[in-house]
Structure 1
């Protein structure tokens, strides 16, 4: 019999195992080690009490892992969702979401958001059926060191403490970062993230924050009056010099940020995939009461 339970009843290792199995035939294989899984969910604000899983004869077969951030009061985020291959077609995903929605609404949350790869049409349709709507289009890129090697800049970035950059960062943005690239995520990853800045006349002119291990650029921004003057090139050069990778990656950049889209194209970056950021209002517990009766085993 399929039961729906809070993720807090299970170990991190068990949650990791069911995610790996659910994504074994996904568009992008996610066979990440346990340590990487733990870092990923922590950086996205994972909350085991808000997260729900499905079991069949005590075996985990489905999940909605949920995160939260203080910067987004009233909003929950789907860190990851999935159903193992042999348990699909039973309505587990929608019933899990009903549990997530009912409990989150009871806790005072009123909004949920997630990302989904655009080419995964089955998942997109499933989320749309649940009432999710696309709010932003994200692009992902890879910038190879070889394609970037001949670029030079006279600008000289210096190492910086993220706590020094954070209060000034938003003033340089054209679009807000995606959930996994927020200041919250950078703070959680702590020493796993390196930051560099360029200042002019005591003002922040540009900065970059990237993961030391993987070379994922979490944030990069240049002040509006400093763009197209080599600042981004200098910041990316600093990142390459401090990451032992042949490429830097950019995950979920807002397509509406024309400056970064044009800059990465000009610098030789290649698109790797696209994602939708989808949102949905949460129903109140009163409005949800009738549906919850249908999802309780």
Structure 2
């Protein structure tokens, strides 16, 4: 499909029709003054969304009278699709464009046989949450972010580097079965430099990505035979010792053991929780 038309003289064109630089510019414009800063280069955009299985044929840039008003980025795995990003440029916000944009994505997903659509939204973003609810999305679970400022002199064990793909395979075999999309084993399998992976005595594993303002931990895994023996805490201490610069961050933590572990380990809860929302599609 080359383009689709919607009410209010809107036209959408597949991301496939644009260069990486053009899509990145559209993304940055659509997320200006957002809850958290989102600024990409073509390289960081590709790195982020490649791992999420972005479908460039199903994703759209939206226009009104030839002028960009926003975008919808769709990721797909099996029968499930995910709104990886949806945003409007500043001058187009508050004019009711979000509903036809998202409804078009829902209609197309249903037509191609997808069975569920999911997305994440900040709990504080009430206008977006209400729109999603009106279009049939329901809260599935809360997702939390933790951070920790590295402390000088923290004792750390000896980290040994390994291929991130090996850790992704371990997560697939031994990790939680229902991890959030961005940190599921399928996403972790695409991790490559500058992401790095380490293990601590073959008992605890981490994949992390150093960034200018933070070090993002993509996954933390302790082998089943070594859980509840302090290996997770020792691993985090070793990471803290090895990366003493910007804050360490772990995103999209679900309620339960991981949440409790980070709280007990002294990590700070960031006051910007998300809802993961799901909408059934089709019959």
Coarse TM-score class (shorter-chain normalised): 0.7 to 0.9
Alignment pair present for 1:96 and 2:98: no
Structure 1 gaps of 5+ residues are 285-297
- Residue 139 of structure 1 corresponds to 144
Structure 1 CA distance, aligned partners of 2:56 and 2:173? 34
Alignment pair present for 1:173 and 2:199: no
Partner deviation per Cα, 1:230-253 (whole Å, 9 max, x = no partner): 311222233335446332101111
After the TM superposition, list the runs of 4 or more consecutive aligned residues in structure 1 that deviate by more than 6 angstroms: none
Aligned to 1:126, the other structure's residue is in SS state helix
Alignment pair present for 1:57 and 2:56: no
- Residue 266 of structure 1 corresponds to 264
Alignment pair present for 1:43 and 2:51: yes
Residues 1-297 of structure 1 aligned to structure 2 (within 5 Å): 1-69=9-77, 73-146=78-151, 149=152, 151-152=154-155, 156-170=158-172, 172-174=174-176, 176-198=178-200, 205-213=203-211, 214-224=214-224, 226-243=226-243, 245-255=245-255, 258-272=256-270, 273-283=272-282
Give the C-alpha shift of residue 263 in structure 1: 2.0
Give the C-alpha shift of residue 131 in structure 1: 0.8
**Is the CA contact 1:198–1:207 (under 8 Å) kept in the aligned structure 2?**
yes
TM-score for both structures, normalised by structure 2: 0.85
**Is the CA contact 1:64–1:96 (under 8 Å) kept in the aligned structure 2?**
yes
Structure 2 CA distance, aligned partners of 1:9 and 1:252? 32
**How many equivalent residue pairs?**
272
**Is the CA contact 1:207–1:221 (under 8 Å) kept in the aligned structure 2?**
yes
